């Protein structure tokens, strides 16, 4: 059984394991960290810009597609990791740290 669809898609896209951070879990664990509210996450759609994190870097992604709580987007930062500006990445609502544009 597939546990995390976003992780599986990222493994296929990048030929490596990308484990994204759960912003909602971090918000519950640390009272100084604030993730977006669920009602705000429901507003995220195609062309929205959101921030996610792979555990090493936080970066902006422009949403290309959304299906329920699963997103596919393009990275909008130059990163020091294994992917870079323009790369596709899959993520879930729970991975979103911030929303810059709905």
What is the chain's mean pLDDT, rounded?
Answer: 87
* Model pTM score: 0.82
Q: What are φ and ψ of residue 25, in 5° steps?
A: -65, -40
The tens digit of pLDDT for each residue in 16-64 reads 667 899 999 999 999 888 999 999 999 999 999 999 999 889 999 999 9
98 contact partners, CB below 8 Å, separation of at least 6: 36, 50, 51
Tokens 């009272």 belong to 31
Residue 11's pLDDT is 66
- Domain range annotation of the chain: 5-101
**What's the CA gap between 28 and 62, in Å, rounded?**
26
Residue 18's pLDDT is 72
């Amino acid at each position: 059984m597939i546990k995390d669809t976003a992780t599986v898609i990222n493994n296929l896209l990048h030929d490596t394991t990308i484990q994204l951070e759960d912003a909602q879990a971090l918000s519950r664990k640390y009272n100084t960290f604030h993730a977006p509210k669920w009602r705000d996450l429901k507003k995220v759609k195609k062309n929205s810009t959101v921030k996610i994190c792979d555990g090493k870097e936080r970066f902006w992604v422009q949403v290309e597609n959304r299906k329920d709580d699963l997103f596919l987007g393009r990275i909008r930062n130059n990163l020091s990791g294994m992917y870079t500006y323009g790369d596709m990445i899959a993520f879930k609502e729970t991975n979103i740290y911030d929303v810059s544009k709905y």
